[in-house]
Structure 1
């Protein structure tokens, strides 16, 4: 379950904004049994190299970072760059006989990803792409297996073979992730739901000149979501001179650098904090008796003896939030009850809806990315101009 609370902000009525276009991410209805059937022939590999950019990897990265456990004896490497030294490092850690390469590209013409793909010529490959375009034609020529990419933009495609396929191969419970996602799909289409509330909060703050968002994430396991959320908000909302910039950082590490920007920099930044209420395991500090009288700030080390570390993590987040409240900085707090496959599915869909509503409130198209395409075209022209 996802809980939302605001500080230094009074929310007016949050009605669902009207959108007359198609909403492919809402209409997406993945067949989990079919995904499992399509990917089962590749289940026995120990290592998986996923090549792709943006939406081709961010949902899977969110699943994998949140849900991988010590009992999973497999590895996943996400390749997002053609940097030679990095590619050689990846190859050295992934023996050919134990490794499957998966390239994901809806358009099939991601030049950088294709370059990385050819670096792994000798590896077994599976391709996720549309049934047209360069990558599809290439797959036919090379005899590579193709699994169809749904007709939905990559950043909204997590609930499909794009996100669920690699997650299944890495032994994650994709059926339970989808159950959480379906639950969220129902909840976040209702009036006055938390996704529209957060979208309205962000919109109101932008109107007030707060164009930067500080988003500390107080869980190592939710770090993957920082990339997905950044992509969703930037690529879907930042158009026609509108939109906000997200600084998504791992916390409490962020308190040792980015708190200075949050509190001491330009007064155009708001907070969106993400925390988890309950951990799966408990851990308490056992302080040696002879150390308890050592001075610590304005007290002694003995206040740490027997302290529950999950409680301490909460104190770290609460300290920064209370500071923001004192400084009158508008703040939203998103709290997950616990990290499970179900809650990860909920969180995925929550942010998809926050993004969708944010774009609609600004009267921009949630599903295109014109400036992204322009940069890709320029980089391809530069390649053509340099003769080998």
Structure 2
């Protein structure tokens, strides 16, 4: 079964057709969905560009953030990052060895600390901030938070973060501030995201986001608990953690939900294929790749080496071979193995890498997560079990004192 929702194509194998069907009750429930805050809010990109113009001289962005304040930026930069002399360094913990090494490598004259926190109250954010206090700084947070108060007292430029849950904040200042500082095409990302929302927010059993959410829900009911997500694209590998967070925090609740095992492929074939094919039969295969690549390399094997035996041929068989075809063959081999093994198999193919396609893909995952949550009867936007760990960690800090 192949379904087109340009620019992404999704196909399903070894999943019975009735598993895509929704009951009248489910359709009514989904149809009553109010437009989510993440779709209603629209970022003022022009204003952001103007505010950030004075900071464009910095060539190293030290991004201090966690979770939803971090992973959309990573996905965008991994896919769309340019060879423009700018680099992104992520600081998502307070490991002193890591911070000391970073301080040794990053000049105060060329480095900007960007702190992004919706709550503006995470203790770890402040610990890292004060470890980097002597660097130039820029904040993104909600007004009147502790972080906003620091910005006001110290006259640090502070950009507004909307009331949008972090993991769904991909089209807000949370993701756009670092993206703009890195020179990414945020207008293209925005256009792709907006058109993606328009595609995926309707309750239509034929559109790919709802079909995927429905299939995953039904498969979970049949005992499938894990999603293996090998990403066959260097440029798409940055989606691994945002998809993981969207799934785990949005609908891993009330004893329900799926575990995502995202991995860069084809390297994943050397550590997880054995589990996927030989372990417990509770895994769904969800393969993410690009349909077209912008460049290719044809191999040139020295003539003096072409007669060396390799498998059933020789090294000469590689002469003039296309690396695009080789890479695609790795993908096709694992997918074919999954299909012949009877494993529920989903293929998501992005037409090519551009700001529009990346924004559209992000919108797709947002609605897959929302529909997945609603089908399980859980709130897509909270994460109640996360807070308890934070409380214990804070208490432990106080105990050490």
TM-score, normalised on structure 1?
0.96
Residue 163 in 1 paired to residue 175 in 2? yes
Residue 287 of structure 2: aligned partner = 273
Residue 100 of structure 1: aligned partner = 112
**Which residue, out of 231, 236, 255, partners 2:250?**
236
Residue 100 of structure 2: aligned partner = 88
**How far off is 1:367 after superposition?**
0.1
Residue 218 of structure 1: aligned partner = 232
Residue 205 in 1 paired to residue 219 in 2? yes
Residue 136 of structure 1: aligned partner = 148
**Which residue, out of 43, 49, 69, partners 1:36?**
49
Residue 75 of structure 2: aligned partner = 62
Aligned residues: 386
Provide the C-alpha distance between the structure 2 equivalents of 1:206 and 1:385, rounded to a whole number of angstroms.
42
Residue 153 in 1 paired to residue 170 in 2? no
**How far off is 1:26 after superposition?**
1.8
Q: Which runs of 4+ in 1 moved over 3 A?
A: 11-16, 18-22
Provide the C-alpha distance between the structure 1 equivalents of 2:128 and 2:32, rounded to a whole number of angstroms.
39
Contact 1:11–1:201 (CA<8 Å) still a contact in 2? no
**Which residue, out of 119, 122, 125, partners 1:110?**
122
Contact 1:54–1:155 (CA<8 Å) still a contact in 2? yes
Residue 298 of structure 1: aligned partner = 312
Residue 61 of structure 2: aligned partner = 48
1:3-51 CA-to-partner distances (Å, cap 9, x unmatched) read 0001111334556624545611121212221221222221111111110
User: For structure 2, which runs of at least 5 residues remain unmatched after alignment?
Assistant: 1-6
User: For structure 1, which runs of at least 5 residues remain unmatched after alignment?
Assistant: none
SS of the residue corresponding to residue 238 of structure 2 reads helix
Provide the C-alpha distance between the structure 2 equivalents of 1:230 and 1:107, rounded to a whole number of angstroms.
21
Contact 1:51–1:79 (CA<8 Å) still a contact in 2? yes
SS of the residue corresponding to residue 222 of structure 1 reads coil
Provide the C-alpha distance between the structure 2 equivalents of 1:166 and 1:145, rounded to a whole number of angstroms.
14
Larger deviation: 20-29 or 263-272? 20-29
Residue 336 of structure 2: aligned partner = 322
Provide the C-alpha distance between the structure 1 equivalents of 2:297 and 2:39, rounded to a whole number of angstroms.
40
Contact 1:14–1:196 (CA<8 Å) still a contact in 2? no
Contact 2:82–2:184 (CA<8 Å) still a contact in 1? no
Residue 8 in 1 paired to residue 21 in 2? no
Larger deviation: 61-70 or 241-250? 61-70
RMSD: 1.4
Provide the C-alpha distance between the structure 1 equivalents of 2:33 and 2:229, rounded to a whole number of angstroms.
31
TM-score, normalised on structure 2?
0.93
**Which residue, out of 309, 315, 324, partners 1:310?**
324
SS of the residue corresponding to residue 353 of structure 1 reads helix
Structure 1 pair 331–121 and aligned structure 2 pair: CA distance change class (3 A) = same
1:110-140 CA-to-partner distances (Å, cap 9, x unmatched) read 1111100100111111110000221112222
Larger deviation: 38-47 or 205-214? 38-47
Provide the C-alpha distance between the structure 2 equivalents of 1:187 and 1:14, rounded to a whole number of angstroms.
19
**How far off is 1:81 after superposition?**
0.7
